[in-house]
Chains A and B, each alone.
Chain A
Amino acid sequence: MPLAAGLRASVRVVVGESDTAPALGSGDVPVLGTPRLLALAEAATVAAVAPQLASGQTTVGTSVTMEHRRASPVGSSLVIEAELTEVDGPRLAFSFVAREEHPRIAREEHPRAQAPGPEVPVTEAPGAPAPGAQAPGAQAPGADAPGGDERVVGAGTIERVVVSRERFLARAAAHHPGPR
Chain B
Amino acid sequence: MSEIRAEMVANVWQVVAAQGQQVHDGDTLVILESMKMEIPVLAESDGTLTKLAVAEGDVIQEGDLIAVIE
Residues of A within 8 A of B (CB): 60, 62, 90, 161, 163, 167-168, 171, 174-175
Summed over the interface, the residue pairs from A and B with CB atoms below 8 Å come to a total of 18
A12 vs B22: C-alpha distance when bound (angstroms): 57
Known: A90-B37, A174-B57. 7 other contacts (CB 8 A): A60-B36, A62-B35, A62-B36, A161-B36, A163-B37, A168-B36, A171-B33
Q: Which residues of B contact A62 (CB under 8 A)?
A: 35-36
**Interface hits, B13-37 → A, CB 8 Å:** 13, 33, 35-37
Name B56's closest neighbour in chain A (CB-CB): A174
A73 vs B57: C-alpha distance when bound (angstroms): 46
Residues of B within 8 A of A (CB): 11, 13, 33, 35-38, 57
CB distance from A175 to the nearest CB of B (A): 7
CB distance from B9 to the nearest CB of A (A): 14
Q: Which residues of A contact B38 (CB under 8 A)?
A: 163, 167, 171
Name B37's closest neighbour in chain A (CB-CB): A161
CB distance from B10 to the nearest CB of A (A): 12
The 3 closest A-B pairs by CB, nearest first: A60-B36, A62-B35, A161-B37
Give 18 CB contacts A-B under 8 Å.
Answer: A60-B36, A62-B35, A62-B36, A90-B37, A161-B35, A161-B36, A161-B37, A163-B36, A163-B37, A163-B38, A167-B38, A168-B36, A171-B13, A171-B33, A171-B38, A174-B13, A174-B57, A175-B11
Q: Which residues of A contact B36 (CB under 8 A)?
A: 60, 62, 161, 163, 168
Q: Which residues of A contact B13 (CB under 8 A)?
A: 171, 174
Q: Which residues of B contact A171 (CB under 8 A)?
A: 13, 33, 38
CB distance from A64 to the nearest CB of B (A): 13
Name A174's closest neighbour in chain B (CB-CB): B13
Q: Which residues of B contact A90 (CB under 8 A)?
A: 37
Name A175's closest neighbour in chain B (CB-CB): B11
Name A164's closest neighbour in chain B (CB-CB): B38
CB distance from A177 to the nearest CB of B (A): 11
A160 vs B20: C-alpha distance when bound (angstroms): 38
